[in-house]
């Protein structure tokens, strides 16, 4: 999707249209990219497009749409007065099942998110009708710890929504940076023995080109879907959830995980850094 910058009503209409089309095609889960309701380069527009979850008609319409199909989308959340988060919501059955606030806010080069957004503080897996899931937003995915925390929490489906720009050229068709995201998707899906769904936006905004190239990997690290890098598209893929069991029987990373060891070891690292 290529959201229109600052135009929440227009983007909402397009969300509802995509959701209805996907539902008619038999989809059970629809995933939109990062800040899909608002566009990415918001800067001073942040307070104008932010949503208060407790009293937003926009959220009410999306919750209603989720009665027919689960929905993940990106938006600007005002979590308390004047505090804004780059957020993702998982909706199902007319309810907000999970809210994730972006933790790792890029501030280098073309990025300046920490100037406008508050930082999230947690990665948590949650229950859905498909099993345990976890959500990340863009730069969150490039931290190994983020994926591990969802894996340790029991996530079987890891959903990443993104607004990653395209930069550099490669020997293969497309942007050089696209391969970085795909490598992460392949590695995380294999070592977490989980499905990885990565949805990136397309289009141009404020002089930036976004790289598209959404993808899905199986729990054994096999590519199941690669969407185009340009142009909006409703891409549909069937996930066989029994693959999770087969992958975890073959590769025993989950069985042999020792989160308590990592907890104690990290505690020592943090205490050492404080010294």
User: How many residues are there in the chain?
Assistant: 275
Residue 2 located in a structural domain: no
Are β-strands 157-162 and 126-128 bridged in parallel, bridged antiparallel, or unpaired? unpaired
E strand or H helix at 266, and its extent? helix 259-274
Identify the weakest region by mean pLDDT among 2-11, 101-110, 210-219, 221-230. Answer: 101-110
Residue 199 located in a structural domain: yes
Kindly report the CATH number assigned to the domain that includes residue 98: 3.60.110.10
> Cα(196)–Cα(12) distance, rounded to whole angstroms?
26
> Cα(97)–Cα(70) distance, rounded to whole angstroms?
10
Q: For residue 170, what pLDDT band results from cuts at 50, 70 and 90?
A: low
**DSSP state, 84?**
E
Please give the tally of structural domains in the chain: 1
Q: What is the pLDDT of residue 109?
A: 72
Residue 78 located in a structural domain: yes
pTM of the model: 0.95
Residue 15 located in a structural domain: yes
DSSP string, 165-210: BP-SB-SSSSBHHHHHHHHHHHHHHHHTTSEEEEEE--SEETTEEB
Residue 3 located in a structural domain: no
Residue 1 located in a structural domain: no
Residue 120 located in a structural domain: yes
Considering the chain, what percentage of its residues have pLDDT values greater than 70?
97
Q: What is the pLDDT of residue 143?
A: 95
> Which has the closest alpha carbon to 128: 189, 74, 197, 77?
197
> Cα(136)–Cα(151) distance, rounded to whole angstroms?
12
Q: For residue 129, what pLDDT band results from cuts at 50, 70 and 90?
A: very high
For the segment 131-154, what is each residue's pLDDT rounded down to a tens digit? 999 999 999 999 999 999 999 999
Domain of 91 in residue numbering reads as 8-274
Q: What is the pLDDT of residue 65?
A: 97
**DSSP state, 26?**
T
Question: Structure tokens of 114?
Answer: 């920490």
Residue 172 located in a structural domain: yes
């Amino acid at each position: 999707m290529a959201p229109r910058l600052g135009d929440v009503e227009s983007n909402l209409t397009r969300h509802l249209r995509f959701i209805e089309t996907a539902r008619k095609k038999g989809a059970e889960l629809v995933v939109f990219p990062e800040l899909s309701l608002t566009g990415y380069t918001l800067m001073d527009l942040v307070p104008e497009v932010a949503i208060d979850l407790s009293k937003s008609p926009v959220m009410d319409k999306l919750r209603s749409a989720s009665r027919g199909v689960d929905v993940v989308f990106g938006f600007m959340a005002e979590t308390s007065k004047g505090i804004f988060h780059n957020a993702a919501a998982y909706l199902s059955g007319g309810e907000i099942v999970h809210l994730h606030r972006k933790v790792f806010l890029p501030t280098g080069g073309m990025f300046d998110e920490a100037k406008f957004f508050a930082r999230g503080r947690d990665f948590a897996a949650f229950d859905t009708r498909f099993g345990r899931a976890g959500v990340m937003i863009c730069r969150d995915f490039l931290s190994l710890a983020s994926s591990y925390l969802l894996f340790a929490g029991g996530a079987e489906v890891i959903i990443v929504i993104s607004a990653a720009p395209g930069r550099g050229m490669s020997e293969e068709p497309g942007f050089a940076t696209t391969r970085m995201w795909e490598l992460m998707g392949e590695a995380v899906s294999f070592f977490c023995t989980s499905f990885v769904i990565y949805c990136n936006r397309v289009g141009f905004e404020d002089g930036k080109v976004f790289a598209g190239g959404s993808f899905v990997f199986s729990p054994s690290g096999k590519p199941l879907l690669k969407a185009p890098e340009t142009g909006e598209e409703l891409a549909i893929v069937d996930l066989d959830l029994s693959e999770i069991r087969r992958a975890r029987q073959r590769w025993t990373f989950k069985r042999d995980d020792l989160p308590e060891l990592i907890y104690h070891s990290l505690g020592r690292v943090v205490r050492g850094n404080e010294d």
